[in-house]
Structure 1
Amino acid sequence: MTVLSDEQQAGSTVWTPVCRVEQVPLAAGVAVLLDGGLQVAVLRTAGDEFFGLSNVDPFSGAAVLSRGIVGDVGGVPVVASPIYKQNFDLRTGQCLDEAGVRIDVHPLRITDGVVHVGVR
């Protein structure tokens, strides 16, 4: 896997400001709707880390992951779907309960207290 620097990613990523940091509760998330109808779950861990994932639960098809339970499984930061309770790794989008299932991950950055979602 190739890891791009911030400068390399900046050229191919469109950043959209979505909310203020304080609008995302600790150990919880909020849903944001981007241009084109893309739904992203902005999630904040109890340790104050921010992650962006697709808001759509691939098992139910419902846009609910922003309402999931944010925590960790064996040291892996996760969100558990509020519908069927599958756990998704916040860093990679990989489902920990079903090896062949992964959801999209979106980069986040915080500038002047505002959360921005990146779309490539």
Structure 2
Amino acid sequence: MIQENVLTWFLACRTTDVPENGGVCVKYQDDQIALFNFTRRGEWYATQNMCPHRMQMAISRGMIGTQGDEPKVACPFHKKTFSLATGKCLSGDDCGDLKTYAVKIENDLVYIGIEDNE
């Protein structure tokens, strides 16, 4: 039997708390989550805040853009790039991937989905 992941949604912030085409860091229990408002695409993304390259809590301060049609974020320190959709490292090396989280907007409030097994 395949068990589906069940998400617990927590209130992260208001939509107005996140700059257009930018990110913020949100704390959930002991974890830091990078939350992005990709206004140019009309999309929201959430990933772990720790860059797997040098283990620095910096992803939320990264620059967002696209690589082809793939939404991405670049770590502000060493410019390693990661897919905002999948977390995959796009820099062509094996520095590791980012964990990604589901995001939903309801009544101008931003919710992030955490898998129950986390």
TM-score (norm 2): 0.87
Q: How does 1:1-120 map to 2 (within 5 A)?
A: 12-35=6-29, 37-45=30-38, 46-98=40-92, 100=94, 101-120=96-115
Residues in 2 aligned to 1:64 and 1:33: alpha-carbon distance in whole angstroms: 13
Residues in 1 aligned to 2:15 and 2:100: alpha-carbon distance in whole angstroms: 19
CA deviations over 1:21-72 (Å, ceiling 9, x no partner): 111111110100001x111100111222100100000112111100000111
> How well do the aligned residues superpose, as a CA RMSD in angstroms?
1.8
The Cα shift of 1:78 comes to 0.4
* Ranges in structure 1 where 5+ consecutive residues have no aligned partner: 3-7
- Structure whose residues are more often strand by fraction: 2
CA deviations over 1:62-115 (Å, ceiling 9, x no partner): 111000001111121000000100111000000101454211001111111100
Which residue is 1:5 aligned to?
none
Q: Percent identity?
A: 29
* Ranges in structure 2 where 5+ consecutive residues have no aligned partner: none
Deviation larger for 64-73 or 96-105:
96-105
Q: Which secondary structure does the structure 2 equivalent of 1:97 belong to?
A: coil
Higher relative contact order (CA 8 A, sep 6+): 2
Number of residue pairs matched?
112
| Native 8 Å contact 1:60 1:83 kept in 2 | no
